[in-house]
Amino acid sequence: MLIWITIISIFGYLVGCLHGSVVAQWISGVNLKETGVKNAGASNAMIVLGKRFGALVALIDIGKGIAAVVVVKLLTAHLTFNEEQSALLYFLVGAAVVFGHNFPFYMKFSGGKGTATVIGVLFAIDWRFGIAGLLLFIAVALLTDILVIGVFMLYITLFVLAIYLNGHWPMIIAVALLCMAIYKHLENFKRIHTGTEPRIKASFKKKKQEQ
């Protein structure tokens, strides 16, 4: 089992390093790590390059989360893993993909924040929880007018999924991912505290004015 854990962790990390922002840079010539909010994620792609590039980056980053988990699901279906072991491997590869997205080796371990990838992982493990997490994310973000608060609904949904699967290790992995998300969003929390965090409604108004 240890060998599989190692292989799947490395596989997940490498898949996570396949950034949508890199594809956007190939097409546009713009390095998202050097412009905008200097983040290699879909939100910065949309801010700097527009909706189409934002959607492209989001789809790639969601897709890699789905793809990695699906590969492991196919693997566990053909090998003699029990339900508990399978759940561990799903969460492990999901966490590894998010870690690879957040800390890619070729970006000096400073990548995105993992939101889109977590959405993909949720959908791949259990599409019902994926839908629930996405709806919660949107609803809470709109109600609070702060995107990052909605983001954490995804991690809470992932933890609830771990409880649903009744897996000890999946719950630990879900908590570890939540802690990593808190670390990656520390600047957002500081801005929320000082009242300088961008509001969703203000962003929409600004875009309308620019149009």
pLDDT at 20: 87
pLDDT at 202: 61
Q: Is the pLDDT of residue 112 over 90?
A: no
pLDDT at 30: 85
Q: Give me the mean pLDDT over the 114-137 stretch.
A: 95
pLDDT at 204: 54
Higher pLDDT, 38 or 66: 66
Q: What is the pTM of this model?
A: 0.89
Q: Give me the mean pLDDT over the 35-58 stretch.
A: 80
Q: At what angle do helices 42-49 and 51-78 cross, to 10 degrees?
A: 160
Q: Is the pLDDT of residue 182 over 50?
A: yes
Q: Is the pLDDT of residue 211 over 80?
A: no
151-161 pLDDT, tens digit each: 999 999 999 99
Q: Is the pLDDT of residue 47 over 80?
A: no
